[in-house]
Structure 1
Amino acid sequence: MLKIFRSGASSKFLLVFLGLALFAMVVTGFGTGGMGLGDLGGMGDETLAEVEGETIGSAQVRDQVDRQLANARQQQPDLDMAAFLRSGALGEIVTQLVSNTALTVFGREQGLTASKRMVDGEIASIPAFQNLAGQFDDGAFRAALSRENLSEKQLRDEIAGTLISRQLLLPVAGSPKVPEAMALQYASLLLERRSGSVGIVPAAAMGAGTEPTDAEVAAFYKENEGRYTIPERRVLRYAEFGADKVAAAAAPTDAEIAAFYQANAARYGARETRSLSQVVLPDQAAARALAAKVAAGTSFAAAASEAGFSAADTAVGERSQAQFAQLTSEAVANAAFAAAEGAVTAPTQSPLGWHVVRVDDIATIAATPLSAVRDEIAAQIGARKSEEALGALVTRIEDALAEGATMQEVAQAEGLTIRETPPITGSGIQFDDPNFKAPELQPVLETAFDMAPDEDPLVETLVPNQRFAILAIARIVPAAAPPLAEVGDRVKADLVQRRALDRAKAVATSIVAKINAGTSAAQAFAEAERPLPAIETVTARRLDVARPDQPIPPPLAMMFSLPKGKARILQAPNGQGWFVVHLQETVPGNAAESPGLIEATRTQFEGILGEEYANQFGRAVEGGMDVERNQDAINALRGQLLGPGLQ
């Protein structure tokens, strides 16, 4: 709600105590990185930083870079290592590890610990380590660690460090209290109403301008080379296979169909069901007395009623002998299915007590001939055999690859066709041909762009239990800007657009100057050197532009940062032109009669202050420690991550 006052929380310290989800982040590649101490990537690698003698090694940082890049690719599939590092990710990860290590060192110096039992509890609570029933699964635990290239010790150290840091920061962040008077003032500010106008100076209204020269186009391209850079592309080699490849082996034989039919005689053969009623009594004498009453002429329902059983208590309904045996016992079911229709059985014992059963009705179901269910049985057998044969094929291919066979050799042995994609991005786009599509490869693109150039071929799933592919990297095309000759027309059009946008900015700036000098917004637009669209009048409360669940037009948000009577320009999206935003009137709000808003404001501010306290505490802790960064080693790691030619 208070984004208007301050942008959203992003504290690296606050992450320590925001809940157990942090630990799940460690093993799923999501989050801010490890919280542990020491060289978790293995002693002997180059030290990038030290905190009170505790080292942060290049292997540890590399692991964090890989995991965070994988997470970022879930939102940006085309993101490559070069672009990720250009965003400052490496420096931020080192800073996070230094800050979190400082907190953990400080906590241990104060006597804080994380017992094995505490760490075990946190591990058991991580969803990635649980089965479908929500219970800890050691197999899932080991698989997740292997998938993320984490050792159990690494994870335990990270969790222990986080628990110690959280013990420090929870009291700090939970201490702020905001007075009601302060909350009232800010809540009232949220109810403030502002009125003004928004106009636009479109770039399209500025005319084409002079034709750019070749030299000007080349200079513009050089200055803006980054915007034309094509992300890393990869040429993938793959060989698909699926159920069609094992169709012959999976075809059911007549003998298999007949055997299945015989094995399921209870399902397909003639069978009998009976509608039954029963009374279950605790002792044999009582059961014999009830059976005697029925034999003497009392109806079963009346005798049961006299014994305290209602019709609902005695009704069993229609059952097969096997079903009734499951409900009672084999002896009781045998007695019930040996009796004639309308008869009552002698008392028979089960673990539940003594049963007296009445046969209300008998229904006989004729056998289903094999001819009627042959197709159904064939489909079931075929599906099972296909799954087994496909699984065997996958295993055979994986074993061959593991033993050193090439992709070509495996494909030839199994009769598969190897195909090759053109250079595509992580989202499957081919820049040279926008119409190119490889939908069958979408499920494996993330894996393909995580593979090392020299990594052995993998067998990956395209459609679970149905289609698979042998996948390999044929070639990697590093991220680079294409030659100007290939994108010259686009660059020229962009330069023309940029110049039109610049002229539009000059016009918008002159309009703002007139408005700020006292001219009305409508008149300032009317006096512009070119015809412009009419301005629009807008009115809104500050609360309306602070809703996190609704995107707010930037011009409306700007109106709440302007002094009364003033105007300012704002660039329109996609280079369309420039907005001129003018604030005409301000009506103060009063939240005195909105206690809910006051309380919400207080809660929000307490969260913001808690974050700030945690930040300041973390900085103070780090500032009081001996922290050394090895910038040369950090730069060397950056070069290794980028690879040759991109440093």
Structure 2
Amino acid sequence: MLQNLRDKTTGWVATVIIGLMIIPFAFFGLDQYMVQRSDTTVANIKAPPTWWSSAPSFWPVSVLWRHEEVTVDEFRNRFEQVRQQRRAEQADAFDNEAFQSRETKLEVLDTLIDQQVQAMAAEQAGIVVSDAMVRNAIQQVPAFQLEGRFDPQRYQLALASQNQTPAQFEQIIRDSLQQSLVAAAVAGSNFVTTSELDRLIRLMGERRDATVLLVPPPEQAEPVSVTDEQVQAWYEAHAADYRAPETVTLEYFELTADSLPAPPVDEQALRERYEEQRSQMGEQEERLASHILVEVADDADEAAWDAAREEAAQLAERARTASTDFSALAAEHSDDPGSRNSGGDLGWVGRGMMPGEFEEALFGMEQGEVSEPVRTDFGWHVVQLREVRTGGEMASFEELRDTLALEQAEADREESFSEVAGQVVDAVLSDPNTLQTAAEVAGAEIRRLGPFSRESAQGLAAQPDILREAFSSTRIEDRTASDPIEVAPRHHVWIRVVEHTPESARPLEQVREEVVAAVRADLARKAAAERVEALVKRLEAGETLEALAEAETLPAPQAIPGIPRGAPLVAEGVSEAIFATRIDGEGGPGIGHEVLEDGRAVVFTVDKVVPGDTAEVPPEQREVLYQQLAQIGGAEDLQAMTARLRKQVEVEVVEENL
């Protein structure tokens, strides 16, 4: 039977069958069968091989393409970093629910894809990260430093706390540098020429002389009549302006530390507080110290440590002789660059400021004493104690009793508040569909707020955290009690939405007067625009502003010399219009106008333009401006390069994994 099977799977018939089977692979791509989508990926990036940059993406050539990915963990880590950054920037205005939107997730993912594409470009260009670059980057991390210097022991402990090996962390740093090298190189390569910088200074410092004629709104003997057709058309065209906002009605109760009864005074607790404070004052002792450091390299053997100790012991003997100046000895022999130039002076040292061995030796010495060599991670120290000062004497218990009683009452109230708040949280969790049980535990009264919208909220409802929670989908849909909302220290609020009205269109009958007023205002603006355009044409024909004002019975025009950019004039937009007006190349004034929202208008002439003086800008300010322009240009270059690179790759986003 096996022989029959073999005979039937060889020869031209089998060849035809296999050929027919290949056709689906040719149409749909072999990679669709070979590569399986993973739930750990949010984006797949495919790029042609480095040795064939123009390779097509269809099968079978597509199997030669490079494949990179953005994993779910990478995305979640970056998303959380961006969340914390925006929370710090926006403070109370940060809306976590809005941040969770699809648009924000895609925005964060897009930056990760850009970085991956830049890293692929760096790899294609043959750019590599050297071991020295990795080592330097690690040594610059503040968490791995002690007194401003890289500390191997801290490095090892920090990695161990994160369950990482040095090799794993070094690879993370290497990958990060690989991703950022191209971006940093491109962004840092931009430059600004002297002529470009001077041109910008002249534009920024430009001043203009202008003459301004204020044209009041056209006077109407009677209100402009508005037809039903105009009202209907305006209402339909501006429907978004006539919607009733979303509103909620809350029930809530508050818990504050001040509302809790103060516990009775405990004399024993007051005396314990007094003794604790007196002990702490004693621990505030500080010591004025100097030292000489005989440094030992990180990779030194015990023989080197012994030799350094011998040298330190000799220096200690010399320091103890009456004829030796310790500061001169330290200036000559100490290896500590931070204190050597000041004769080894460390200033006043308190507990916790120095490594353990150093501190133990210093606080065990008598004033004027010079220590034996003390070993730390940096080498051997010879320590001189120059002076001792203590925190001073405390007043008696009787003198401080009232103050201690107030402090103790505050501490007891704080403890009571934490205890009651915990009990309230438990009550909410056990019965989240009502506030009644939790309010009874807190001994608080349930009150009502609303209805109010996001814009009309006042008082307690206007607190950012309460407002955000009140309009959250969870509170609105489930009608459950919230977690405690801290509106101030030791002041918590619990809320529950009892009524909700979604945003809705207000009928025309309800807003008809608003629509009529809007139509009339629009007609007035159009009439003002027509009048101003007619005045501008007369100016262009050679008439002056003074003649126009006299002919039209308008207020006399006002000459405003030396207007700087952004100066507030009459109303918003007038200053911008003046600086956007071009002056006639033949030396005539520039003519412009601006119609204001209230129906007034401004007609003006730009009579003179004085460029900014480059000589008035000091060198340091020029340098700052140069750096800013170069950074802006570099960012634009990087954005353009990344956009070009994105066109050379294929990106597949797996949105369901976001």
TM-score, length-scaled by structure 1: 0.56
> Which of 423, 428, 435 does residue 451 from structure 2 map onto?
423
Name the aligned partner's letter for residue 561 of structure 1: A
Aligned to 1:586: 609
For residue 380 of structure 1, what is the aligned residue in structure 2? Answer: 407
Q: In structure 1, the residue corresponding to 2:646 is in which secondary structure?
A: helix
Selected match of 1:520 from 524, 544, 547: 544
Q: Secondary structure at the match of 1:444?
A: helix
Deviation at 1:240, TM superposition (A): 0.8
* Cross-structure match for 1:545: 565
- Structure-2 change in CA distance of 1:189 and 1:469 (3 Å): closer
- Taking a change above 3 Å as real, the CA distance of residues 533 and 56 of structure 1, as seen in their structure-2 partners, is farther
> Which residues in structure 2 correspond to 1:479-558 (within 5 Å)?
479-528=503-552, 531-540=553-562, 544-545=564-565, 554-558=573-577
Q: 1:211 aligns with which of 198, 213, 225?
A: 225
Q: Which residue of 1 aligns with 2:578?
A: 559
Q: Is this contact kept in 2: 1:78–1:426, CA < 8 A?
A: no
The corresponding residue for 2:264 is 252
> Superposed, which structure 2 residues align to 1:207-356 within 5 Å?
209-229=223-243, 231-247=245-261, 250-253=262-265, 256-257=266-267, 259-260=268-269, 263=272, 351-352=365-366
| AA matched with 1:462 | V
Other-structure match for 2:190: 176
State the SS of the aligned residue for 2:533: helix
Q: 1:398 aligned to 2:410? A: no
Offset at residue 499 of structure 1 (A): 1.5
User: Greater shift after overlay, 514-523 or 601-610?
Assistant: 601-610
How far off is 1:533 after superposition? 3.8
Tell me which moved more, 385-394 or 226-235. Answer: 226-235
Q: Which amino acid aligns with 1:508?
A: V
Q: Check conservation: 1:225, 1:481, Cα contact below 8 A.
A: yes
Whether the 8 Å CA contact 1:200–1:580 is kept in 2: the answer is yes
> Which amino acid in the other structure matches residue 463 of structure 1?
A
Cα deviation per residue 1:42-96 (whole Å; 9 max; x = unaligned)? 964996886656667999699689959976994996999899999x878866755
Give the CA deviation at 1:394: 1.0
Partner residue, 1:201: 215
Residue pair 1:177, 1:606 contacting (<8 A) in 2 also: yes
Alignment partners' CA distance in 2, 1:496 and 1:246: 59
Shift in alpha-carbon separation, 1:550–1:123, aligned structure 2, 3 A: farther
Q: How many residues align?
A: 464
CA drift at 1:608: 3.5
Paired with 1:231 and 1:516, the residues of 2 have a C-alpha distance of 48
Q: Which residue of 1 aligns with 2:634?
A: 610
> Counterparts of 1:183-194 in structure 2 under 5 Å?
183-190=197-204, 192-194=206-208
Which of the residues 488, 495, 500 maps onto 1:463?
488
SS in 2 for 1:239: strand
SS at match of 2:638: helix
| C-alpha distance in 2 between matches for 1:485 and 1:625 | 56
Provide the identity percentage: 20
CA distance in 2, matches of 1:196, 1:75: 43
2:194 and 2:643 map into 1 onto residues whose CA distance is 29
SS of 1:534's equivalent in the other structure is: coil
Whole-angstrom distance in 1 between the partners of 2:417 and 2:548: 74
Distance 2:628 2:181 in 1: 23
Amino acid at match of 2:438: V
What is the Cα deviation at residue 592 of structure 1? 5.7
Q: Distance in 2 between matches of 1:580 and 1:160?
A: 62
User: Comparing both chains, which one has the higher relative contact order based on Cα–Cα distances under 8 Å and sequence gaps of 6 or more?
Assistant: 1
Change (3 A) 1:117 1:485: farther
Instruction: Map Cα deviations across residues 402-424 of structure 1 (whole Å, 9 max, x no partner).
Output: 44554333224443322332133
User: TM-score, structure 2 length as denominator?
Assistant: 0.56
Inter-partner Cα distance in structure 1 for 2:635 and 2:600: 38
Q: 2:524·2:599 contact (CA, 8 Å) conserved in 1?
A: no
Q: How much does 1:366 deviate?
A: 11
CA deviation map 1:244-297 (0-9, x unaligned): 5431xx3215xx23x24555787999xxxxxxxxxxxxxxxxxxxxxxxxxxxx
Distance 2:104 2:215 in 1: 38
Given residue 264 of structure 2, which amino acid in structure 1 is its aligned partner? Answer: P
Distance in 2, matches of 1:123 and 1:232, equals: 48
Contact 2:270 2:405 in 1 (8 A): no
Unpaired stretches in structure 1, ≥5 consecutive residues: 1-41, 126-134, 143-155, 270-306, 309-325, 328-349, 356-363, 431-435, 638-647
> Is the partner of 1:387 in helix, strand or coil?
helix
What's the counterpart of residue 649 of structure 2?
Answer: 625
Q: Is the 8 A contact 1:77 1:426 kept in 2?
A: no
CA distance 1:379–1:265, change in 2 (3 Å)? closer
Distance in 2 of aligned mates of 1:440 and 1:470: 15
Distance 1:351 1:512, change over 3 A: same
Residue equivalent to 2:376 = none
Question: Cα–Cα, structure 1 residues 89 and 193, in superposed 2: closer, same or farther, change >3 Å?
Answer: same
Residues 1:122 and 1:398: Cα distance change in structure 2 (over 3 Å): farther
**Deviation string, structure 1 residues 492-513 (Cα, Å, up to 9, x no partner):** 2222212111111111121222
Give the secondary-structure state (helix, strand or coil) at the position aligned to 1:584.
strand
CA contact (8 A) 1:203 1:497 kept: no
| Matching residue's letter, 2:121 | F
1:145-167 C-alpha deviation (Å, 9 max, x unpaired): xxxxxxxxxxx999998754432
SS at match of 1:560: helix
Q: Does 1:102 align with 2:117?
A: yes
Matched, 1:410 2:452: no
For the structure 1 residues 83 and 497, does the alpha-carbon distance in structure 2 shift closer, same or farther, using more than 3 Å as the test? farther
Report if aligned partners of 1:187, 1:601 keep a CA contact under 8 Å in 2.
no
Cα distance in 2 for residues equivalent to 1:157 and 1:236: 53
